Amino acid sequence: MNRETRSTKQIPASPFLLPAFLLFIVHCSYFIALPSHAQFFYAPVTNLIDAPTAGFLPPGSFALTLRMEPDGGVLGGMAVQPMDAFLTEVSYGGENIIGSGEVDWNPRVEFEGRWKFLQERFALPSIALGFASQGYDGHTGGRYRIKSKGFYAVASKGFNLFGHLGLHGGINRTFEGKEGEKKDNGKDKDITFFFGFDKGLGESFSIVGEYDLAQNDDEENGVEVTDDNGYLNLGFRWNYLGSLFLEFDFRNLRKHRDQEKNRIVKLEYIEFF
């Protein structure tokens, strides 16, 4: 897949649209893991940067998210936790929303559903099963540039190691094929894996990282490319006023498929019904 040539014009971020994510860490009195609901109250880590975790919101709560992507892209979403074991989210956005010229809207509203298969225990991670149709960085050629996860399974485990440390790993199978192929043709949709962490830095700050092997995005005309380095992302989060979270992320640090590195900003607000 040859990524579309995109403008390198710098678009200043609006202070009213600063977006990001989560992390409120309560230090544990034990050196070993505690259940995720004991570590987090207002903001369990439900996502890292692009990858999901086995974290859930508190029951009876909702989260409003805003994500500013390259090329003036904006993606908004609303996640709802109606019960303890199920999380659902809808999202919509497009490219060139910030800037000039015509807006390139995503083709449809996207959906995610996540079910808690196993609650985290003393020696066991939490495990979640889910489906996500939302990809990232705009929609072109019948697919998102960063493919949606599709069906996935993910495990998460929290530890107290000089503050909170969360480790995450998952497997997924997307339904998006190669660029330009709009129908489900089974090409370049391999099962792939992703890994990540979140580390608390005091009560208000945290660092997050993730690595997606991107084995479902490593072919060109049916032949594996040599620069399939995977997507390596690193981000920083700030918890402001307990339920408002700002995040700044550096993405594609290994330049997968020779695509340029980029930066995004996210904001998340969590509240109860």
Q: Name the percent of the chain lying above pLDDT 90.
A: 60
What value does the mean pLDDT of the chain take? 82
pLDDT for res 256: 86
Q: Name the percent of the chain lying above pLDDT 70.
A: 77
Nearest to 149 by CA among 123, 103, 112: 112
The pLDDT tens digits for 173-197 are 999 876 544 444 446 678 999 999 9
pLDDT for res 179: 54
Helix (H), strand (E), coil (C) string for 231-257: EEEEEEEEEECCCEEEEEEEECCCCHH
Domain ranges (residues) in the chain: 36-272
Angular region, 37: left φ>0, alpha ψ -120 to 50, beta rest: alpha
36-272 has which fold? Porin (2.40.160)
Residue type for position 206: S
The torsion of the CA quartet 130, 72, 1, 108, rounded to 10 degrees, works out to 50
- pLDDT band at residue 227 under the 50/70/90 scheme: low
Nearest to 215 by CA among 181, 173, 167: 173
| pTM of the predicted model as reported, rounded to 2 decimal places | 0.79
Q: For tokens 């330009």, name the residue.
A: 180
60 is written with which tokens?
């009876």
Of the CA atoms within 13 Å of residue 109, those in its CB half-sphere come to 6
- pLDDT band at residue 9 under the 50/70/90 scheme: very low
pLDDT for res 177: 75
- In whole angstroms, what is the distance from residue 50 CA to residue 66 CA? 13
- In whole angstroms, what is the distance from residue 21 CA to residue 40 CA? 14
| Residue 46: count of CB within 10 angstroms of its CB | 26
For residue 28, is pLDDT > 70? no
The pLDDT tens digits for 129-159 are 999 999 999 998 889 999 999 999 999 999 9
Nearest to 247 by CA among 111, 71, 65: 65
For residue 273, is pLDDT > 90? no
pLDDT winner (highest mean) among 14-18, 142-146, 266-270: 266-270
The pLDDT tens digits for 86-132 are 999 999 999 999 988 899 999 999 999 999 999 999 889 999 999 99
Concatenating the DSSP letter of every residue in 188-242 gives T---EEEEEEEEEETTTEEEEEEEE--TTS-EETTEE-TT---EEEEEEEEEETT
For residue 243, is pLDDT > 60? yes
Q: For residue 175, give Cα distances in angstroms to 44, 109, 131, 218.
A: 28, 16, 11, 15
- In whole angstroms, what is the distance from residue 242 CA to residue 100 CA? 35
pLDDT for res 224: 57
